[in-house]
């Protein structure tokens, strides 16, 4: 019963392992990376933010309309009080009447009449208010920039350049992700094959150990040779465990690039080497035309030029048109106008040489970026040549390893036959088997290094999206372990 349960449990685990491993082609992995990787999602937000910034710069040309409202309660009304002048006024009137009587201009009988006429005025309150202590209003204001010394045009161009720079930065990041995917995708394929080789070595060593034990029992093999086989068996098992651990590590790294957290993916696209590659000059020209790094440097140079224009605009006057109107009033004096329009001019005469130094600093920054642009162009050209030569080296290495693999196969067959006939020690057979596995693995390693170098070359040239087309080319020779 225990054996039945154990078999059932092993069957379930085997099914789960098969389900967990998902076959994935390189093209599918590329599509998954460029859609699900968190870095790509972050790029989308960054590009959208830059687009919004450019739209905000367009708004600098538009009128600015503000609605404001306020309510105020003051300590007292605003007005004038002339009551303290009544005494002086009354004395002045009395003096005039007396003088008029003395000169015969006014008869004494008219004095009561005149005083009667002046009495209401002299008895009145000689104070009046022009603004109540409590008042409020709602008003609108419009400001239209007419000329700001070129600042608006500069800001608009700088926003467009920044949006383009962010777009090129995103393209660079996507290219780097493709190179990372190629490295981890084929790296996992290589690690799985290496683990399989180690597994085959362990199986072969187990058979050799059984043969050696049989020969030792029949007195045809020395005890020391049996111990050597056992030592190599233990070493092979340790290397297999290391290889399986490497598979898990690279598998987790591939999942991270794909933007996935569950399951184990099995690469099914074989590594390849195109027979005919374009010249290094082809890739140099491609890099000069399409490299996102060079594009970013060029855009930064243009941005530095716009900053020079921005700092220069501080030397010019600024002209704006403005207007305002009161939309609603509460106890606001009628003395104040209900609307007004005008044109404002601002011109800075002296600010402690702040403008001069900023303008000079902007020009120095422009010269610095121009120098960096030249260096970047040289660096990219050198990088392209370096990666191209690495590809050629790996292709040449592959051809040499293929000749070595053919010899290693024949040598292993001869040693195996000699061992079974008792004509060769087990150490020679083990060494021959390990040598064949080593040569086959190095052959795959060379193909892996070639594909990684090609991915990085296309990244430097700004053409990482063409990597899949190289894999599908008619002259792209597929490289597998047993071929």
Q: Are 479 and 444 in contact (CB under 8 A)?
A: yes
Closest among 428, 441, 401, 405 to 197, alpha carbons compared: 441
Closest among 291, 222, 215, 259 to 463, alpha carbons compared: 291
The C-alpha atoms of residue 457 and residue 385 are separated, in whole angstroms, by: 9
Write out pLDDT tens, residues 174-203: 999 999 999 999 999 999 988 988 888 788
In this prediction, what percent of the chain has a pLDDT beyond 90?
Answer: 44
Query: Is residue 311 helix, strand or coil?
Result: helix
The C-alpha atoms of residue 45 and residue 38 are separated, in whole angstroms, by: 11
Write out pLDDT tens, residues 53-64: 988 888 888 889
Predicted pLDDT of residue 4: 35
Rg of the chain over Cα atoms, rounded to whole angstroms, equals 46
Q: What pTM was estimated for this model as a whole?
A: 0.76
For residue 426, name the pLDDT band (cuts at 50, 70, 90). low
Predicted pLDDT of residue 114: 74
Predicted pLDDT of residue 229: 78
Element (H or E) spanning 461, and its range? Answer: none
Closest among 184, 200, 299 to 250, alpha carbons compared: 184
| Beta-carbon contacts of residue 405 (< 8 Å; ≥ 6 apart) | 436, 439, 440, 443
Q: Residue 84's beta-bridge partner residues?
A: none
pLDDT at 2 over 70: no
Q: Are 205 and 236 in contact (CB under 8 A)?
A: yes
DSSP 91-127: HHHHHHHHHHHHTTSS-GGGHHHHHHHHHHHHHS--E
Mean pLDDT of 364-376: 93
The C-alpha atoms of residue 415 and residue 270 are separated, in whole angstroms, by: 31
And the tokens for 158? 């700088």
**How many residues are listed for the chain in this entry?**
483
The C-alpha atoms of residue 322 and residue 344 are separated, in whole angstroms, by: 7
And the tokens for 257? 């690039």
Q: To which residue do tokens 């349960």 refer? A: 5
The C-alpha atoms of residue 159 and residue 155 are separated, in whole angstroms, by: 6
Closest among 319, 371, 367 to 346, alpha carbons compared: 319
Per the model's pLDDT, the better-predicted residue between 69 and 3 turns out to be: 69
pLDDT at 128 over 80: no
Element (H or E) spanning 473, and its range? Answer: none
Question: How remote is the C-alpha of 219 from its chain's centroid?
Answer: 71
Write out pLDDT tens, residues 19-58: 456 899 999 999 999 999 999 999 999 999 999 998 888 8
DSSP 329-397: EES--TTS-SEEEEEEEE----STTHHHHHHHHHHHHHHHHHHHHHHHHHHHHHHHHHHHHHHHHHHHH
Q: Which of 58-67, 172-181, 343-352, 398-407 has the highest mean pLDDT?
A: 172-181
Q: Residue 388's beta-bridge partner residues?
A: none
Q: Which of 106-120, 160-174, 398-412 has the highest mean pLDDT?
A: 160-174
Burial, 300: exposed, middle or buried (Cβ in 10 Å; 0-12, 13-18, 19+)?
Answer: buried
Q: Is the dihedral of CA 143, 144, 147, 148 positive or negative?
A: positive
pLDDT at 295 over 70: yes
Per the model's pLDDT, the better-predicted residue between 329 and 88 turns out to be: 329
For residue 75, name the pLDDT band (cuts at 50, 70, 90). confident
pLDDT at 6 over 50: no
Predicted pLDDT of residue 387: 96
pLDDT at 171 over 90: yes
Angle between helix 280-290 and 354-420 (nearest 10): 140
95-109, 256-270, 271-285: least confident range = 95-109
Mean pLDDT of 284-294: 95
Q: Residue 137's beta-bridge partner residues?
A: 70, 329
Predicted pLDDT of residue 360: 93
Question: How remote is the C-alpha of 123 from its chain's centroid?
Answer: 83
Closest among 457, 438, 329, 446 to 397, alpha carbons compared: 446
The C-alpha atoms of residue 253 and residue 182 are separated, in whole angstroms, by: 12
Query: Is residue 24 helix, strand or coil?
Result: strand
Predicted pLDDT of residue 483: 63
Q: Which of 4-13, 145-154, 421-430 has the highest mean pLDDT?
A: 145-154
User: What integer best gives the mean pLDDT of the chain?
Assistant: 85
Spell out where 423-471 has E strands: none
Mean pLDDT of 76-89: 80
Mean pLDDT of 83-109: 77
φ/ψ (deg, to 5) at 142: -125, 130
């Amino acid at each position: 019963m225990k054996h039945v349960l154990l078999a059932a449990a092993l069957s379930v685990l085997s099914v789960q392992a098969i389900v967990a491993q998902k076959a994935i082609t390189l093209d599918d992995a590329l599509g998954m990376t460029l859609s699900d990787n968190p870095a790509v999602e972050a790029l989308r937000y960054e590009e959208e933010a830059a687009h919004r910034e450019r739209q905000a710069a367009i708004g600098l040309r538009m009128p600015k309309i503000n609605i404001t409202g306020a309510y105020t309660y003051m300590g007292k009304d605003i007005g004038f009080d002339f009551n303290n002048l009544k005494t002086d006024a009354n004395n002045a009137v009395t003096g005039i009447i007396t003088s008029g009587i003395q000169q015969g201009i006014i008869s004494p009988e008219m004095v009561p009449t005149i005083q009667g006429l002046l009495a209401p005025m002299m008895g009145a309150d000689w104070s009046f208010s022009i603004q109540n202590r409590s008042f409020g209003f709602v008003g609108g204001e419009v400001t239209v920039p007419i000329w700001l010394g070129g600042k608006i045009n500069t800001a608009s161009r700088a926003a467009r350049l920044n949006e383009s720079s962010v777009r090129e930065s995103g393209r660079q990041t996507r290219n780097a992700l493709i190179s990372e995917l190629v490295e981890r995708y084929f790296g996992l394929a290589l690690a799985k094959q290496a683990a399989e080789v180690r597994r085959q070595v362990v199986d072969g060593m187990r058979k050799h150990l059984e043969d050696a034990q049989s020969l030792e029992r029949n007195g045809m093999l020395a005890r020391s040779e049996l111990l050597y086989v056992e030592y190599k068996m233990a070493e092979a098992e340790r290397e297999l465990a290391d290889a399986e651990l490497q598979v898990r590590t690279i598998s987790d790294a591939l999942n991270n690039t794909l933007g996935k957290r569950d399951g184990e993916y099995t690469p099914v696209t074989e590594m390849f080497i195109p027979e005919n590659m374009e010249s290094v000059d082809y890739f140099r020209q491609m890099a000069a035309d399409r490299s996102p790094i060079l594009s970013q440097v060029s855009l930064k140079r243009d941005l530095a030029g716009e900053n020079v224009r921005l700092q220069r605009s501080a030397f010019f006057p600024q002209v704006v048109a403005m207007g305002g109107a009161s939309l609603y009033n509460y106890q606001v004096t009628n003395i104040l106008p209900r609307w007004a329009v005008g044109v404002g001019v601002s011109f800075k005469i002296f600010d402690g040489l702040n403008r001069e130094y900023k303008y000079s600093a902007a020009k120095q920054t422009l010269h610095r970026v121009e120098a960096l642009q030249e260096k970047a162009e040289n660096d990219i050209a050198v990088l392209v040549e370096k990666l191209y030569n690495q590809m050629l080296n790996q292709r040449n290495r592959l051809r040499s390893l293929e000749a070595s693999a053919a010899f290693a196969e024949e040598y292993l067959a001869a040693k195996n036959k000699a061992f079974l006939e008792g004509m060769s020690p087990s150490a020679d057979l083990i060494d021959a088997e390990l040598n064949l596995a080593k040569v086959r693995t190095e052959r795959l390693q060379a193909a892996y290094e070639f594909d990684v170098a090609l991915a990085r070359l296309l990244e430097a040239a700004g053409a990482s999206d063409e990597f899949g087309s190289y894999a599908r080319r008619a002259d792209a020779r597929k490289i597998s372990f047993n071929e």
